[in-house]
Amino acid sequence: MAAKDLEIANIERLRLDVPFHPRCAHTMTIRGSGWSVVDLYKVTLGSGVVGIGETIVGYTWGSTTDEQTARLIGENAFDLLWDDSLGAGVQMALFDGAARALGVPCHRLLGRQHREVCPVSWWAQDMKPEEWAAEARAAEEQGFTTMKVKARPWNDIDAQLAAVSDAVSPHFRIDTDFNGLLLGEDVAAPLLCRLEEKYPALAMVESPIPQEDVAGNAILRRKIRSPIAMHFGQPPVMTAIREGVCDGFVIGGGARQVVSEGTLAEHAKMPFWLQMVGTGLTTTFAVHLGAVLTQARWPAIPSINIYSHPLLKEFEVTGGHIRVPEGPGLGVEVDWDAVEGFRVDDDYSKPSVREIHTIHWPDGRQSHYPDGGYRGEFLDAKLPGFLPGVWLERRLDDGSDDFGREYGELFPES
């Protein structure tokens, strides 16, 4: 193959608005509206080979501008593979194109294959108990065996876990991500120990208290039986390993970062979740990474279930795992008819919508907010968290006079 064949001849960006699945569309519109906006990249090499990648505009670890990608024309694709500064979509497309040019699957460029199937998890934002239960049922119907959820102090965690436990098979597992909202070991240990005894489905907990609380996390780890996962790098990874603050990590980012951190986790013999959010393309790239990283044995979190379409012609999860593709490149086929149906203007962004958030307290009181700003009040311990019977109601502006009038009365200065 001539060097000219491996040069980048063209990079095309297609902006899509991939609708959220109706099951979770209301919640995702509030919690992550921009996650539906996808930049699809088509990188064409001199040989005519095309690589495909995607960036989730409202979430992904890194993106790039059209001006930056234009400067890549004429460069050798193999010289750029490990440059994380290129952003998610371009880097993924380069790996796909380079591997296709060689006629090998992406994982052959990432390392030595360790596993043929990779574990993957369903994902759910903070929701009402019946909504978590619906998510769990859908997960099991679609071949998943685990679901990672956002546990939040404005919802009754007992009611949520009870609803999920009643909705699924005994082998189904629930991982809970508190994002530090249990505040400290004094709050976290009693609550988690009680939940562990009451709900056998509870498997792992992520960031139960602030990650920088080294002493508190070390104590908590000794008091509960569930493995604790923490985002790699905070506290510094060697501190986390030395002080025993967690059982494993959450790892995400560009290919260079993921492989580097995954290799360190291998040496430390600590498992991790791969967290790379996106449609079927990102999910598949994560599977290729998981195929070569020995400690990627906790279920990956791609959040693919939030989308109404995977952008692929075929996508299957069996027994909580995805088979590692062996075809060239990513080894999947894009559904271009679906892509065309989701096309929007190149500068499209999701319009903002007014919201009313109401916390319903067990004693009947109500607290109203125009957005999710109450999170900071819970983190600062200004509001009591995880009370039995507490629940959050979220409403989006439906364009009605009633909503406009209520919004004006509740938030006159907005």
Mean pLDDT of 146-163: 97
Spatial distance between the Cα atoms of 65 and 37, rounded to a whole number of angstroms? 15
Given a contact cutoff of 8 angstroms between Cβ atoms, the answer to whether 289 and 105 are in contact is no
What's the rounded mean pLDDT across residues 16-24?
Answer: 97
- The domains of the chain are located at 3-107, 117-329, 355-410
Order of strands, edge to edge, in the sheet holding 366-369? 366-369, 355-360, 391-396
Q: What is the mean pLDDT of residues 117-127?
A: 97
> Is pLDDT of 1 > 90?
no
The 10s digit of each residue's pLDDT in 60-82 is 888 888 899 999 999 999 999 99
- Band of pLDDT at residue 3, cut at 50, 70 and 90: confident
Label each residue of 50-70 as H, E or C.
Answer: EEEEEEECCCCCCCCCHHHHH
| Whole-number Å distance between alpha carbons of 64 and 413 | 37
Q: In the structure encoding, which two tokens stand for residue 67, read together?
A: 């001006």
Query: What local confidence, expressed as pLDDT, does residue 168 receive?
Result: 96
Report the CATH number of the 117-329 domain: 3.20.20.120
CB-based contact 35:55 (threshold 8 Å)? no
Q: How confident is the model at residue 413 (pLDDT cuts 50, 70, 90)?
A: confident
Mean pLDDT of 6-35: 96
Instruction: Tell me if residue 39 falls in helix, strand or coil.
Output: strand
pLDDT at 2: 72
The predicted structure's pLDDT at residue 119: 98
What pLDDT is recorded for position 393? 97
pLDDT tens digits, residue range 241-287?
999 999 999 999 999 999 999 999 999 999 999 999 999 999 999 99
Residue 353: the pLDDT is 93
How many helices (H) and strands (E) are present in the chain, helices listed first? 15, 15
Span 220-243, pLDDT tens digits: 999 999 999 999 999 999 999 999
- Considering the chain, what percentage of its residues have pLDDT values greater than 90? 96
Q: Which residue's entry shows tokens 């934002």?
A: 125
Q: How confident is the model at residue 123, as a pLDDT?
A: 97
The pLDDT assigned to 205 comes to 98
pLDDT at 15: 98
Short-list 89, 36, 54, 68, CA closest to 348 = 36
Query: For the structural domain made of 3-107, what CATH number should be given?
Result: 3.30.390.10
Q: Would you say residue 8 has pLDDT above 80? A: yes
Q: How far apart are CA 244 and CA 81, in angstroms?
A: 34
Tens of pLDDT, residue by residue over 315-373, are 999 999 999 999 999 999 999 999 999 999 999 999 999 999 999 999 999 999 999 99
Q: Say whether pLDDT at 6 is over 90.
A: no
The whole-angstrom separation of Cα 280 and Cα 282 is 6
> What is the DSSP code (8-state) at residue 402?
H
